[in-house]
Amino acid sequence: SQQGEEDPQALSIQEGENATMNCSYKTSINNLQWYRQNSGRGLVHLILIRSNEREKHSGRLRVTLDTSKKSSSLLITASRAADTASYFCATSPWSGAGSYQLTFGKGTKLSVIP
């Protein structure tokens, strides 16, 4: 069952620009996570934001969460060619042990042009 839907599906920017990706979901969540996947490789966890949080930062990443609109955004500032990857949001409706059950969106493919 697909919960998160990323937008846009693809994004191409110049190195140094900021990249913004959005995720919308349908049902109530306990937490929302963002992952990065380099072409054909395993997904790497970037950041987790809980339903009672509105914004979170990690290095050049900023994630916001609006539970009233059931949406989240991932901002990558001062992008680099190495940021070229697909980015996925994943949601969990459960707390505790159930929070491990994540539903992934289909991803945004980001291309950063040197």
Partner 1 sequence: EAQVTQNPRYLITVTGKKLTVTCSQNMNHEYMSWYRQDPGLGLRQIYYSMNVEVTDKGDVPEGYKVSRKEKRNFPLILESPSPNQTSLYFCASSLAGELFFGEGSRLTVL
If the CB atoms of residues 42 and 59 are measured against partner 1, the closer one turns out to be 42
Can you tell me the distance from the alpha carbon of 25 to that of 21, in angstroms, rounded to the nearest whole number? Answer: 14
Q: Point out which span in 13-21, 32-40, 52-60, 63-71 binds partner 1 (CB under 8 A).
A: 32-40
Nearest approach in angstroms of CB 11 to partner 1 is: 17
Instruction: Say which residues have a Cβ less than 8 Å from residue 67's Cβ, sequence separation at least 6.
Output: 28, 29, 51
59 binds partner 1 per the rule CB under 8 A: no
106 binds partner 1 per the rule CB under 8 A: yes
Can you tell me the distance from the alpha carbon of 57 to that of 71, in angstroms, rounded to the nearest whole number? Answer: 17
If the CB atoms of residues 9 and 18 are measured against partner 1, the closer one turns out to be 9
Q: Point out which span in 18-26, 42-50, 62-70, 77-85 binds partner 1 (CB under 8 A).
A: 42-50
41 binds partner 1 per the rule CB under 8 A: yes
Read off the tokens for 49. Answer: 């934001």
Can you tell me the distance from the alpha carbon of 111 to that of 86, in angstroms, rounded to the nearest whole number? Answer: 9
Can you tell me the distance from the alpha carbon of 102 to that of 38, in angstroms, rounded to the nearest whole number? Answer: 20
Can you tell me the distance from the alpha carbon of 12 to that of 37, in angstroms, rounded to the nearest whole number? Answer: 16
Contact set with partner 1 (CB under 8 A): 1-2, 31, 33, 35, 40-45, 48, 88, 90, 92, 97, 99-107
